[in-house]
Structure 1
Amino acid sequence: MNLSPCQKANVLMESLPYIKAFHNQTVVIKYGGNAMINEELKHTVIKDIVLMKYVGMNPVVVHGGGPEISEMMKKFGKEPKFIDGLRVTDEETMQITEMILLGKINRQIVSLINGNGIKAIGISGKDGNMIRAKQRDPRLGLVGEVEKIDISLIKTVADKGYIPVISPIAYGKEGETYNINADEVAGKLAAALQAKKLILITDVKGVMKDQQDKNSIISHIKSNEIRKYIEDQIIGGGMIPKVECCYDAVSHGVERAHIIDGRKPHSILLEIFTNEGIGTMITN
């Protein structure tokens, strides 16, 4: 889409109040879905994050990597297994998970941010004992849930001008390694950092009243409405843990949480810097 100079000026003027409002504020972004795979979308997400830093915001990135983990497991002759949407993780699967998340995806994101003129640094939840986890369910093996977060390492690197890029891997109290759902890590981090916003990048438009009607998106949900939406099966399946993650964040001091469609180019900027926003916003 080609904009006239006047239209471009209007876009900039519309964004100005938001730039002021979010200056020096922390925004936690969970980066996942098709936006991690599609090369064009990947670059627009990175540019959005870089722009946030340039205009004075403090983005913190938490990334997933499920599809690439599954692909590598198959190359090793292991068939991925899931219970309630969570990957069953034995020792070998955990090694593959670390290899993909830390050795590939985290490095790629850091490299792309660095290549756009902003300093980024890759961090695992194991680094500096940032995240302490406990086993979620014995049936899932080495899948953990967040027990404790120490934000001192994140604050140290952010204060030095770096964008932290975090892999959702953590130690247990006995030194065992756990894989944690990236949405959960993002939500818990947002609460611990008292972030202004939590943004979950997904492969859906947001919460829909009718899955068959693309125009039925619910743009705003209050936290006290969530249970009824789940009971009425408006929120179901894989959307439940995402909404619950947002609920947990806004219940612990995060001002707003957003579920947005990462398949839409520059979805982060559209959410933060425009009057309409996109996706579903959850507030307390």
Structure 2
Amino acid sequence: MTETPEEQGWATAKTLAEALPYIQRYDRETVVIKYGGHAMGEESVARLFAADAVLLKLLGLHPVVVHGGGPQISRMLEKAGVKSTFIDGLRVTDEATMEVAEMVLSGAINKEIANWITLAGAEADVRGVGLSGKDARLITVRKVERTKIDPGSQIEQSIDLGYVGEPTRIDPQLIQGLISADHDYIPVIAPIGVSAEGQTFNINADTVAGALAGALKAKRMLLLTDVTGVLGADGELIREMSIAQARDAIATGVASGGMIPKLETAIAAVESGVEAVVILDGRRPHAMLVELFTEHGAGTLITR
């Protein structure tokens, strides 16, 4: 039976009233959102994400967006005739690849997300601000060092991933200024950093989100991806995990593939002061709102 417009109105009012305790819980709290390359999807999905980010700001939260862009980088490299090489899931980034990665991440994707947020928030003057880790030396990095056991000789060998970095220092002053109560800005950050010597590096976006969430002492970090969350051995969604349970899921193989670095990022973020991290499906409309403002949430919650 179809609801009448009046019945729909009463249902909406009931939903808003039930959300009040959660709105109060997150009032003036920082929420770092990792918006993944696979979760970005089509323009309609991006617009819904932008509108939800604006709503978070208007409800008193301080959303900070960190975005990825792996699939988009791969497409652009393919168009440019640059071959991608991966080692243990990490893209080997030479000079040509780094140039394309920065152009895609800090340019096209970053400014597009910031623009969608500005358009969605036009009536309330909420604006997206596109940045990268190079701005105001937000993210200082060092070159990632990896080793691998050679299967033939069983000797540990060094792996050169090129211009791939990991954060050594986050300077949150610029972000704190933008998200202060006096401003209606939503920072949108591309995962590009700079070394102490001034060299540009590509950084894993999950890692950036976790490091930034820790530096900002965020109430929540939301990892928006293309899966519903962490699935148990029975294939069912695990709604809550402690750090110990997350480590156990990695050790026993319950978590595998791309879920392992996400759990590792979640563990590191919680240990650095973030109250909780949630892994959820960013392709589902309003997933962030369901997670933050309803009793059961929308993904897997990882806490201390």
TM range (shorter): over 0.9
d(CA) in 2 for partners of 1:93, 1:279 = 34
> Can you list the C-alpha shifts for 1:218-241, whole angstroms capped at 9, x where unaligned?
000001122221121001111111
Tell me which residue corresponds to 2:166: 145
- Secondary structure in 2 aligned to 1:53? helix
> Can you list the C-alpha shifts for 1:9-54, whole angstroms capped at 9, x where unaligned?
2211121111111111000000014331222221111111000001
Q: How does 1:93-242 map to 2 (within 5 A)?
A: 93-117=97-121, 118-137=126-145, 138-159=159-180, 160-210=183-233, 213=235, 216-242=236-262
Instruction: Number of aligned residue pairs: give it.
Output: 281
Question: Is 2:272 aligned against 1:249?
Answer: no
d(CA) in 1 for partners of 2:283, 2:106 = 24
d(CA) in 2 for partners of 1:129, 1:81 = 29
Q: Stretches of 4+ moved more than 6 A in 1?
A: none
d(CA) in 2 for partners of 1:227, 1:195 = 22
**RMSD of aligned residue pairs (Cα, Å):** 1.4
Runs of 5+ unmatched residues, structure 1 = none
> Can you list the C-alpha shifts for 1:164-223, whole angstroms capped at 9, x where unaligned?
110110111211111000000000100100000000000011000137x3xx11000001
Normalising by structure 2, we get a TM-score of 0.89
> Can you list the C-alpha shifts for 1:86-126, whole angstroms capped at 9, x where unaligned?
11100110000011011100110111111112112111101
d(CA) in 2 for partners of 1:34, 1:74 = 17
- Secondary structure in 2 aligned to 1:4? helix
CA change 1:99–1:33 in 2 (3 A) is: closer
Look up the equivalent residue of 1:180 and give its one-letter code.
I
d(CA) in 2 for partners of 1:70, 1:167 = 16
Structure number with larger C-alpha Rg: 2
Runs of 5+ unmatched residues, structure 2 = 146-158
Tell me which residue corresponds to 1:24: 28
